[in-house]
Amino acid sequence: MNIPKRYDAKEAESKWQAFWEAKGIYKFNPENNSPVFSLDTPPPTVSGEMHIGHAMAYIQADTVMRFQRMLGKSIFYPFGFDDNGLATELYVEKKTGRLAEEMSRQEFVELCLKESEIAEKRLHEDWKSLGISPDWDISYRTTDEWCRKTSQRSFIHLYKMGRAYRKYEPTVWCPKCGTAIAQVETEDKTLSSVLYDITFKVEGADLLIATSRPELLPACVSVFYHPSDERYKKYKGKMATVPLFGHEVPIMEDEEADPESGTGIVMCCTAGDSTDVEWWKTHKLPWISVIDERGRMKEAAGKYAGMYIKKARKAIVEDLAEQGLLKGKEEISHNVNVHERCGTAVEYIMTKQWFIKYLDLKELFLDAGAQLNWYPSYMKSRYDNWVKGLKWDWCISRQRYYGISFPVWYCEECDYVVVADDKDLPVDPSEATPPIDKCPKCGCDRFKPEQDVLDTWATSSLTPQIATRWKEDDAFFNKLYPMSLRSNGHDIITFWLFNTVVKGLLHENKVPWKDVIINGFVLDPKREKMSKSKGNIIKPKATIERYSADALRFWACSAKLGEDLPYEEKEIRRGVKMINKLWNASKFTLLHLDGYDLKYNCLEVADRWLLSKLNRVIGECTASFNDYEFSTVKKVIENFFWHTFCDVYLEIVKDRLYNPERGEEAKRSAQYTLYVALQAMLKMMAPIMPHITEEIYHAYFAEKENCKSIHISKWPEMDEDTIDEEAEEMGDKAEDVISAVRKYKTLNKKALNSEVSRILINCDNATEKQLEGTCDDLKATLHAKAIEFGDAEDNIITEKYELKLRVDW
RNA sequence: GGGCCCGUGGUCUAGCUGGUUAUGACGUCGCCUUUACGAGGCGAAGGUCAUGCGUUCGAAUCGCAUCGGGCCCA
C-alpha cells in the first residue's frame, strides 16, 4: 500500500468532483424502487454571487442528502437557478449599463437571457466547488421553457378554479420601478421627515391637522379622530374644507386614529399608506387618484399636476405658508414602507392587477403549517404570525419587461379573459394568437394580449412542481410529490416557503414537503450581519482556495439549525487540522491493515472497549442525522475520532502491531478493530467531508467492499450485540490509569515514552480483576516494565475512578 | 408596539425532559520528538452559567420580572 505522506486537498477535491460527475454517483434513477428522499433547495439568483451564507446553508442540506443516500434511499436532489424577474432586470441593467426602456422589450429580454446564461455558468462552478451532491442533470432555470410552461399552467389552473382574478384595486406600487409589488417585497425603513400642521376649516373655524405628506391634500377624502377624543367630538358628522383645494370632506371617528400623534386628527388620502386603504374600504370613501405610475402628480392635483412627489410637496408647503395655513412644522423620523429592492417609498395606486385570492384560506394555511415538521420547531411561529397578519390577496402581476408572460388575452370589446390552451404552453400572448376566433361573450374577433408579466414568486413558489414534472409525467410526479425536505433561510419563510405552501395546497391540496429545515445566517467574527456597506463580506471561494472545501464544510456543520454562525478563520483552520489528523491516522491504520484478511479468533479487552464505544457513536450519529442535527454528528464523531481513537486507542495497540512478541492473535484482534473503526468513522464523516473521506476510502476500503464511492456505500449500522458494558468499564479504568501516569510523567518533565520500572496499583479485588485483562496493553502504552497490584503507599489518585497508584522510576 | 430566538472562562460553544467536580475548541502558560501526525501529545491557569425573585431537598436547566443583543412583522 502506497499512501502519500501528505494530502493535497486542492488536487484531491477537483479530482473527486470530476470523478463523481463522470461516474454518475449522484444520478437519480427513476427505476430505483427504494424509498425516495428528495430535497427542494432555493434556486440561487443569477443577480447575486455565492456568499458564505449560501455556502453554509447548501452544505448543511447536502450533508443530510449524503447521509440519506448512504442509508440506501433513492435520492432526488435537483438544482435550480433563478434568473427570473425584477432582480435579474436590475442586475442586467447595472452590469451592461443599458436601461430596459432604451430598447425594445424583445431586445431587452434577449439581453437578460444572455447575461443569465453567463451568470449561471459561474454559479454552477461556485456551487460545485462546495462539494455538494445534486444531480446536475435535473437542474432547471426559472425562465426556461419548462418553468414557463409550469408557471403558466399554474396560473391557468388557478384561474379556472376561480382563485386568480383581475381587479381594480389599490395596489402596493413602486414608483421608481414602475410596477406593482407584493406586500412581502416591502420593508420598513426609518427616514427623517417633516410633520406639518395644516389648517383645515370647519364652519369657519380652524382645524389643525398634522401630516408628513401635504402633497396628498388633493386626494384627501375624510379626516379621522379617535372616538374617545373629547376635543373633536363636537365635529362629528360635520364637513371640513381642505386647504388650497377647497373640497369638503366628512369628519369621522375611527379607533385607528391616534390621539397622541400630531394634533390627534388625521387626514385620510387615497392613498398614503395601508391605513388609508383600510379606511377607504371600511368607510366606503371615494377614491381620488393623484399619483401616477412614475410618482408624478396627476390632474386631480390641479396646478401641481406633472410634478414629482417631492417637488409637489415643496410647492404645496410654500403655498400653504404664503396663505397662512401652515401653523407649524416639526422634524421627525418615522417608519416608511419602502420597496426592498430599491429603497423607494411605496405608494398605493389604483390599477388593474391579477391577484390570487387567498385571504379566505388562512385556517387552511395554518393547518398546513401544522402538518409540516419544522426543524427547529420554533420557526413555525414565524409562519403562523405571517399567515395571521395577511391583509391583501397575493398580487401576481408586474408591469415590467422581463418575466414570464400571462397566458392571457382580453376581448377588445368586453374585456373577456381568454386563456391559452395547455398544449400551446408556454406562450407569449404578444407573439401568439388566442385559441378561439370569437369572444364567447360578445362575438368580437379582436383580442389584445396581456402585457404584464408574472411575479417572480409566482414561479419560484412552484419549485416542487417544477422538479417533479407536475401535469407532465404523472408516474414521475406521483412518485416524487410531496417532496421529503425543504431547506430554507429564516428570512424567506414568509415568502418563498409560504408561497410554495399556497401553491401546493391550491393545486394538489397537499403540503409540498414532509419536513422543513430552517438555517441561520452567517455573521462576521464580531457577530454582526455581513453587508456590502460594512465591507465585512467573506467570499467562500477564497476560503476554499486557501483551506479546502472540506475545511469549509467542517465549519459549516458546526451551527445548529436555525442558529446564526459567526465566520471565524480559526474555525476553518480547525477543519484543516481535522483533515490532516484524519489523513495521518488513516495512513498509520492502513499501513497495518496491508494484507489483512479480516480473520480473528477472540478480541482483546481494549478492542471490545473501542468497538462498544464506536457502536454508541454510530447510534448517536445516525439518530442525530435523522433529526437533521448535523452539528451533533460533527461534534460526536470529531471527539470520538480524535480523543478516543487517536489519543488513546492507537497508542494502546501500537505495541501489538509492531511487537511480534505479543503474538499473532493480539495483532489480529487489533487489526480487526482498526478496520471496523476506521471504516465506520470515515463513513460517518463522509457527509461532512466528502473529499478526504473518498480519498482514504479509495486507498483501501473501496476494493474490499467492492464499491466505487464511499458516498454510495452503506452507512454503518449500530450493532446492539457489540455494546459491551463490562469491556467499557474495564477499558475506562485502564484509560484512567493511562491518563494518570501520563500526567505524572508530564509533571515530572519526562517524555511520555520514558520507561518506568513498575506501576503499583492499590485497588479492590474486582478492579484488579478488570485491570488484569488490560495489563499487557497498559505496560506497552505506558512503557512500564511491570504492573503490580498491592497495598503499598501510593502517590497518585486517578481522575475518574479515584484509583490509587504508585509509579517507580 | 406584537411575535420568536439568544445572553455559559479572554473568544466561540456543549449541556437546558432539574441530580456528582459545567463540555469541547481557540487563545495563554508549562512540559514532552510516543517507529501516523510538532498542523502533534501530556498538563495548568481561567467560569457568582446576564441580573433579580420564585418553584424545589436540589436550578445553567422550570416559572415570572428586569437588562442587553439579534431576527421577523406592524
Transcribe A691-740 into DSSP letters.
HHHHHHHHHTHHHHHT-S-GGGSPPP---GGG--HHHHHHHHHHHHHHHH
Q: Tell me how far apart the alpha carbons of residues A606 and A3 are, in angstroms, rounded to a whole number.
A: 27
C-alpha cell at A65: 442528502
Looking at the C1' of nucleotide B35, which residue has the nearest alpha carbon? A658
Asked whether the beta carbons of A478 and A427 are under 8 A apart, the reply is no
How many C-beta neighbours within 10 Å does residue A495 have? 18
Residue–nucleotide distance: A637 CA to B10 C1' (Å): 28
Residue–nucleotide distance: A716 CA to B73 C1' (Å): 45
Residue–nucleotide distance: A183 CA to B1 C1' (Å): 20
Banded model confidence at residue A211, pLDDT cuts 50, 70, 90: confident
Question: What are the Cα distances from residue A453, in Å, to A49, A81, A84, A458?
Answer: 25, 19, 11, 10
Q: For residue A187, say whether its CB is under 7 Å from any atom of strand B.
A: yes
Q: What's the pLDDT score for residue A184?
A: 67
Q: Please compute the mean of the pLDDT values over residues A157-162 and round it to a whole number.
A: 96
Q: What's the pLDDT score for residue A334?
A: 73
Looking at the C1' of nucleotide B20, which residue has the nearest alpha carbon? A800
CB-contacted nucleotides of strand B (7 Å): 2-5, 12-15, 21, 24-27, 30-37, 39-44, 69-74
pLDDT in tens, A344-363: 888 888 888 899 999 999 99
Residue–nucleotide distance: A527 CA to B52 C1' (Å): 28
Residue–nucleotide distance: A781 CA to B25 C1' (Å): 27
Question: What are the Cα distances from residue A649, in Å, to A161, A166, A339, A608, A732?
Answer: 67, 72, 60, 11, 11
pLDDT in tens, A490-512: 888 988 999 999 999 999 999 99
Q: For residue A747, say whether its CB is under 7 Å from any atom of strand B.
A: yes
Backbone angles phi, psi at A346, to 5 degrees: -80, 155
Q: Which residues of chain A (553-592) touch nucleic strand B at CB < 7 A? A: 560, 562-564, 566, 568, 570-571, 574, 576-577, 580-581, 584-585, 587-588, 591
Closest CA relative to residue A579, chosen from A680, A695, A679: A695
Q: For residue A750, say whether its CB is under 7 Å from any atom of strand B.
A: yes
Q: Which residues pair with A188 in a beta bridge?
A: A337
Q: Is A1 helix (H, G, I), strand (E, B) or coil?
A: coil
Closest CA relative to residue A279, chosen from A208, A197, A221: A221
Q: Tell me how far apart the alpha carbons of residues A740 and A798 are, in angstroms, rounded to a whole number.
A: 5
- What integer best gives the mean pLDDT of chain A? 89
Banded model confidence at residue A532, pLDDT cuts 50, 70, 90: low
Q: What's the pLDDT score for residue A89?
A: 87
pLDDT in tens, A61-105: 999 999 999 999 999 999 999 998 888 888 899 899 998 888 888
Q: Which residues pair with A454 in a beta bridge?
A: A397
Residues in CB range of A445: below 8 A, 6 or more apart: A437, A438, A439
Please, what sign has the CA dihedral across residues A123, A124, A125, A129?
positive
Q: Which residues of chain A (502-531) touch nucleic strand B at CB < 7 A? A: 521, 527, 529
Q: What's the pLDDT score for residue A372?
A: 94
Using C1' positions and the CA of A388, the closest nucleotide is B73
C-alpha cell at A161: 378554479
Residue–nucleotide distance: A543 CA to B10 C1' (Å): 26
Using C1' positions and the CA of A523, the closest nucleotide is B70
pLDDT in tens, A441-487: 999 999 999 999 999 899 999 999 999 999 999 999 999 999 999 99
Q: For residue A189, say whether its CB is under 7 Å from any atom of strand B.
A: no
Q: What's the pLDDT score for residue A21?
A: 96
Backbone angles phi, psi at A143, to 5 degrees: -115, 10
Q: Tell me how far apart the alpha carbons of residues A395 and A182 are, in angstroms, rounded to a whole number.
A: 6
How many C-beta neighbours within 10 Å does residue A24 have? 11
Using C1' positions and the CA of A190, the closest nucleotide is B74
DSSP state of A434: P
Longest Cα separation, chain A: 116
Q: Tell me how far apart the alpha carbons of residues A141 and A119 are, in angstroms, rounded to a whole number.
A: 12
- Return the amino acid letter for A405: S
pLDDT in tens, A694-741: 999 999 999 999 999 999 999 999 998 999 988 998 998 898 889 888
Residue–nucleotide distance: A381 CA to B55 C1' (Å): 28
Residue–nucleotide distance: A750 CA to B22 C1' (Å): 32
pLDDT in tens, A174-190: 888 888 887 667 777 77
Using C1' positions and the CA of A187, the closest nucleotide is B73
Residue–nucleotide distance: A68 CA to B18 C1' (Å): 35
- Kindly report the three-state secondary structure assignment for every residue of A37-87: EEEECCCCECCCCCCHHHHHHHHHHHHHHHHHHHCCCEEECCEEEECCHHH
Share of chain A above pLDDT 90, in %: 50
- Return the amino acid letter for A8: D
Asked whether the beta carbons of A341 and A400 are under 8 A apart, the reply is no
Q: Tell me how far apart the alpha carbons of residues A70 and A26 are, in angstroms, rounded to a whole number.
A: 11
Residue–nucleotide distance: A492 CA to B38 C1' (Å): 47
Helix spans in A289-359 (H): 309-322
Looking at the C1' of nucleotide B32, which residue has the nearest alpha carbon? A751
Q: Tell me how far apart the alpha carbons of residues A232 and A258 are, in angstroms, rounded to a whole number.
A: 13
Q: Which of A5-14, A148-157, A324-333 comes out lowest in average pLDDT?
A: A324-333
Question: What are the Cα distances from residue A623, in Å, to A148, A488, A628?
Answer: 41, 22, 9
Helix, strand, coil percentages (3-state) for chain A, rounded to 5, are: 45, 20, 35
How many C-beta neighbours within 10 Å does residue A182 have? 21
Q: Please compute the mean of the pLDDT values over residues A418-429 and round it to a whole number.
A: 94
Q: Tell me how far apart the alpha carbons of residues A90 and A122 are, in angstroms, rounded to a whole number.
A: 18
Q: Which residues pair with A253 in a beta bridge?
A: A225
Q: What's the pLDDT score for residue A316?
A: 87
Banded model confidence at residue A547, pLDDT cuts 50, 70, 90: very high
- CA geometry: angle at A213 spanning A209 and A214, to 5°? 65
Banded model confidence at residue A13, pLDDT cuts 50, 70, 90: very high
Helix spans in A514-603 (H): 540-547, 549-556, 569-591
Question: What are the Cα distances from residue A63, in Å, to A53, A557, A690?
Answer: 16, 8, 9
Residue A537 pLDDT > 90: no
Q: What's the pLDDT score for residue A329?
A: 81
Residue–nucleotide distance: A620 CA to B35 C1' (Å): 35
Q: Which residues of chain A (777-796) touch nucleic strand B at CB < 7 A? A: 781
Q: Tell me how far apart the alpha carbons of residues A489 and A519 are, in angstroms, rounded to a whole number.
A: 5
Q: Which residues of chain A (700-739) touch nucleic strand B at CB < 7 A? A: 739
Q: What's the pLDDT score for residue A1?
A: 64
Residues in CB range of A701: below 8 A, 6 or more apart: A679, A682, A707, A710, A713
Based on its alpha-carbon atoms, the radius of gyration of chain A, rounded to whole angstroms, reads: 35
Residues in CB range of A333: below 8 A, 6 or more apart: A190, A191, A192, A193
- Distance between the two ends of chain A, CA-based, in angstroms? 40
Q: What's the pLDDT score for residue A550?
A: 95
C-alpha cell at A47: 443577480
pLDDT in tens, A636-656: 999 999 999 999 999 999 999
Banded model confidence at residue A33, pLDDT cuts 50, 70, 90: very high
C-alpha cell at A681: 468513522
Residue–nucleotide distance: A573 CA to B14 C1' (Å): 20
Share of chain A above pLDDT 70, in %: 99
pLDDT in tens, A257-304: 777 777 778 888 887 887 888 888 778 888 888 888 888 888 888 888
pLDDT in tens, A652-687: 999 999 999 998 999 999 999 999 999 999 999 999
C-alpha cell at A68: 440519506
Residue–nucleotide distance: A794 CA to B61 C1' (Å): 40
Q: Tell me how far apart the alpha carbons of residues A295 and A88 are, in angstroms, rounded to a whole number.
A: 23
Residue–nucleotide distance: A747 CA to B44 C1' (Å): 10
ipTM over 0.90: yes
- Return the amino acid letter for A396: I
DSSP state of A650: I
Kindly state the helix (H) or strand (E) to which residue A375 belongs, with its residue range: strand A373-375
pLDDT in tens, A569-628: 888 899 999 999 999 999 999 999 988 888 888 899 999 999 999 999 999 999 999 999
Residue–nucleotide distance: A378 CA to B4 C1' (Å): 7
Asked whether the beta carbons of A168 and A350 are under 8 A apart, the reply is yes
